[in-house]
Amino acid sequence: MENMNHQHHKMKTKNAFWKNPLVWVCLAAIGYWVYTYHLEHALGFLPYAILLLCPLMHIFMHGGHHHENHQHEENKEDK
């Protein structure tokens, strides 16, 4: 029988950008500034922001998918 290696590759954990409290403070400050001084401009940009959000979510939500075929490469080396 062939020796099958069923070890799963663990995903490397990166320091999440969004876990940094400074990021949240900066986003809150920017949000307050936009709300108080540029609300009319921000509301006019809202339809475009929603359309822009779709491709950005697609790009960043698939960041955890590694499309590398380690298993196929290992099988080729064994043969």
At 25-62, the pLDDT tens digits run 999 999 999 889 988 888 898 899 889 998 888 888 87
Average pLDDT in the chain? 75
- pTM (predicted TM-score): 0.42
| Inter-residue contact 33 to 25 (CB < 8 Å) | no
pLDDT confidence tier of residue 14, bands split at 50, 70 and 90: low
Distance CA 65, CA 52 (A): 22
Please tell me the predicted confidence (pLDDT) of residue 57: 86
Distance CA 30, CA 5 (A): 50
DSSP track, 5-27: --PPPPPPPPPPGGG-HHHHHHH
CA distances 10 to 13, 28, 74, Å, are: 9, 34, 17
